[in-house]
Structure 1
Amino acid sequence: MTRQVDQGARSVARHQSEAPYCKHLEAEAKKEEKVEEKEESDDESCVAVAPHLELRNLNIVKKVKGIKDATVDFMRTMSSGYSMKSFSGSSSGSRIATPPKQNQSRGCWTLTPHVKKWLTKHHMKESQAYQYFVLRAQNIALSHGYEIVNWEETFNNFGNKLSRKTVVHNWLGAGVAEKVVAAGLRCIVSNQDKWYLHYLDATWQQFYMNEPLTNITNPNQQKLVLGGEVCMWGEFIDGSDIEQTIWPRAAAAAERLWTPYDNLAKDPRQVTGRLAHFRCLLNQRGVAAAPLAGPGRVAPEEPGSCYTQ
């Protein structure tokens, strides 16, 4: 049973387009005049969706619009520029501003004039444009011999349209991995409530006990779970707290992934001493790994040995 991502063992094959129904749209898009619409509302709408990004150069936002040919041309150029074809390129799929749900704010695609015009011309809803762009990005990456990783939103919204070579990265929660492998696709597990490091209330015990193969009992489907990944996002940390946010909780997940299932501790208390020792080794080497006791990134309750904190 494979319990970690083995990029070296992945086979890479050239890919023929698997989305023929998009071809007529691509042909029409190429015929359109490449006229840059200088509208401030384009930029402002995107920034309004993600104000925390504090974008200084709004021209960057303006140029990265999923349905514009310039964006697709950039992806083609970027994809053809790499020589290492074993590289797994993410064609993303997360954080796309699709139609509002549960009264959420409207996204940048809905508020951008030239995108609204494009949607009207092609008789598409925002969700359909999202699918169109993701599948187009997939075809570009695969045509250059790359393997692709998509966030789970693509699977949740149009999983039956994805290339059969897609690796789905599960992050939103439990239950997705089993659906992905049941559909015959490969999966990487990073469910946010257990393996997102900026969730400071997730203890190392939760990191350790999070099993990627939960409810996946078919041996052939188990092989489709490539492994797992703990995630740390830059907007939640800086140089002063990154190490204690990552360690030692990431080490608990690492043992889960690197250990044959039958050899794993059934009770995290059996792991405490070993993980405390590892945390001490990190401290001795200058890594500011946080204490085991309490939530992530917590300060020691009092002075004492790193073995007991």
Structure 2
Amino acid sequence: MAVVICFLFVHFLIGLVSSNGEYQKEKLVSVSATTGMPWPLPQQYSSTPDVYTINRNAFKFKATGQSCDILESAFFRYQTIIFGMREETLKFHPKNSLKAGSLTVLNVNVKNKCDRYPYLGMDESYNLTISATGATLNSNSVWGALRGIETFSQLVLQQDTNMFFVNGTTISDYPRFQHRGLLLDTSRHFLDVTIIKQNLLAMSQSKFNVFHWHIVDDQSFPYTSKNFPDMASKGAYDSRHIYTQDQIAEIIEFARILGIRVIPEFDSPGHSQSWGKSITDLLTKCYSGGKRNGQYGPVDPTLETSYGFLSKFFAEIGRVFPDQYIHLGGDEVNFDCWKSNPNVTAFMKQKGFGTDYAKLEEYYVQRLLDIVGGLKKGYMIWQEVVDNGAKVKPDTVVEVWKRGYLQELYKVTSLGYKALLSSCWYLSDIAYGIDWPNFYNCDPDDFFGTAEQKKLVIGGEVCMWGEYVDNTNVLSRTWPRASVVAERLWSAQSVKDANAAAPRLEEHRCRMIKRGFPAETVNGPGFCPQEYAIPV
């Protein structure tokens, strides 16, 4: 059988990576490929020189096992993703008329009944085979089918308007970590629902499975609460920069169909200035020289009214967001206002806390955790909660975000808690030049710990904080840099050579461009066969 060789010339500047992950020099690279190069790299992947043509007008996806709305939606979506794009400008070897055969169907066999919502620990494994006998995707769950269909879509290359081709392929794949998240901050700058949906689509195409929605913060409160509607009307930037309950349900449903969990974060007792614009006496009143100075600090932990509000508010959050987990924050609590307030000082004395304000924070956090635990919800927290000595439930997920993360991962897991890593994956920290190897060279398993400790590290999250991104640039600044972390969390630990990954990342970036995402360049000068064009 003759081999069809597709020369996809992608020219870009890439440095040689030294052992410590730093680029020593730049080198011009020309990449040629005989098949699509998947991202993230599957656990076990092999291809043959056999090539199968696909006629876009004849091909279909077919459910041969369990089916449901999630799978049917994927069939429709990927029919468009693979075959509905504009023609790609590729050059082919003149002998490309000799084919191994044609492909008219991908049989998708889902063994078990579909779940309604994705969840922590869902089975995302799949097996994909493309051969002379046909193309088959087997998975235990619909979630594995979604990941496998995405991989199939990346293997298909376009020859002309109606004709596509794919190599013979055998893949056995599953994620290394069960929690692979991306955080977006919609408080510092508001993000439209359309932008969030585009981001969710991009996430699914890099096999992320958690949208960590940092929905509110000091700057604004765009969440529209049914029980406390003034929190948005007074705490948001204005009436246009809010998320209605219907819009939130729309985003959750959109994510569900993609196999992505939506975990909301409502951070307290700090990062809560926007809360206090409508909830009377929620925030601590600050003093200077023994007198009120008009400023407010964190949530007032001394008042029972604070906990009454929190009980009612989080009961609503538990109903609106179906995921098992809520992120409760708990980071960066400034004690200065608490220290200045005479009522807080008296409360500290009454409780026997002395002058240890970390104990006051622990008191608040413990009350809040009891409230959320009473809703039969799990919770995620930033590392400060544990660092300050709060006792939390055994199934708590602790997110490690500060420097010294190797030591912190050891500490958190030695206490028996599940852990997530985000310290080295802050996309909002940008630098000129090629920065993605810094993300690629960071691994959650790098800390020294026992095998049992490492089992408690359930994954990680890449974070795009919102101080300097909004609708105009959040997608381009996030992608494809976030995809680098997606591979670190999905692929085998041995997949860590940035030089080897660079051509696949470049192809993945060009694939995102072709699919309509404004994914920024990450490897220096070069071009994609199809450049991004702003829709008109």
TM-score, normalised to structure 2, is 0.42
How far, CA to CA, are the matches of 1:61 and 1:91 in structure 2? Answer: 21
Pairwise CA distance, 1:95: 1.6
Match of 2:282 in 1: 63
Q: Is the 8 A contact 2:410 2:449 kept in 1?
A: no
Are 2:524 and 1:305 equivalent residues in the alignment?
A: no
Backbone CA RMSD of aligned residues: 3.0
How far, CA to CA, are the matches of 2:307 and 2:275 in structure 1? Answer: 24
- Bigger shift: 196-205 or 245-254? 196-205
Q: 1:152 to 1:293 in 2, by over 3 A?
A: same
User: What secondary structure does 1:229 align onto?
Assistant: strand
Q: Is the 8 A contact 1:189 1:212 kept in 2?
A: yes
Q: 1:291 to 1:109 in 2, by over 3 A?
A: same
Are 2:470 and 1:251 equivalent residues in the alignment?
A: no
Greater percentage in helix: 1
Match of 2:178 in 1: 4
Q: 1:66 to 1:224 in 2, by over 3 A?
A: farther
Q: Is the 8 A contact 1:197 1:232 kept in 2?
A: yes
Deviations, residues 11-64 of structure 1 (Å, cap 9, x unaligned) = xxxxxxxxxxxxxxxxxxxxxxxxxxxxxxxxxxxxxx98xx996974558524
Greater percentage in strand: 2
Are 2:358 and 1:184 equivalent residues in the alignment?
A: no
Match of 2:396 in 1: 166
Q: 1:211 aligns with which of 419, 443, 457?
A: 443
Q: 1:80 aligns with which of 288, 292, 315?
A: 315
Pairwise CA distance, 1:236: 2.9
Runs of 5+ consecutive residues of structure 1 not aligned to the other structure: 8-48, 99-106, 295-300
Are 2:366 and 1:135 equivalent residues in the alignment?
A: yes
Are 2:407 and 1:198 equivalent residues in the alignment?
A: no
Q: Which residue identity does 2:179 align to in structure 1?
A: V
Match of 2:326 in 1: 89
Deviations, residues 213-256 of structure 1 (Å, cap 9, x unaligned) = 11245332222111000011122312222112211110000011
Count of residue pairs the alignment pairs up: 244
How far, CA to CA, are the matches of 1:58 and 1:142 in structure 2? Answer: 27
Q: 1:282 to 1:134 in 2, by over 3 A?
A: same
Q: 1:149 to 1:252 in 2, by over 3 A?
A: same
User: What secondary structure does 2:462 align onto?
Assistant: coil
Runs of 5+ consecutive residues of structure 2 not aligned to the other structure: 1-174, 182-269, 284-298, 532-536
Match of 2:137 in 1: none
Q: Is the 8 A contact 1:3 1:260 kept in 2?
A: no
Q: Which residue identity does 1:95 align to in structure 2?
A: E
Residue identity over aligned pairs, in percent, reads: 27
How far, CA to CA, are the matches of 1:89 and 1:120 in structure 2? Answer: 32
Q: 1:55 to 1:187 in 2, by over 3 A?
A: closer
Q: 1:223 to 1:55 in 2, by over 3 A?
A: closer
Name the larger-Rg structure: 2
- Bigger shift: 218-227 or 119-128? 119-128
Match of 1:21 in 2: none
How far, CA to CA, are the matches of 1:72 and 1:114 in structure 2? Answer: 17
Q: Is the 8 A contact 1:204 1:248 kept in 2?
A: no
How far, CA to CA, are the matches of 2:273 and 2:386 in structure 1? Answer: 30
Q: 1:240 aligns with which of 459, 465, 472?
A: 472
How far, CA to CA, are the matches of 1:54 and 1:69 in structure 2? Answer: 19
Q: Which residue identity does 1:71 align to in structure 2?
A: S
Q: 1:78 to 1:87 in 2, by over 3 A?
A: farther
Match of 1:118 in 2: 347
Match of 1:231 in 2: 463
Q: 1:78 to 1:224 in 2, by over 3 A?
A: same
Q: Is the 8 A contact 1:205 1:268 kept in 2?
A: yes
How far, CA to CA, are the matches of 2:473 and 2:458 in structure 1? Answer: 30
Match of 2:521 in 1: 291
Q: 1:144 to 1:241 in 2, by over 3 A?
A: same
Q: Which residue identity does 2:282 align to in structure 1?
A: K
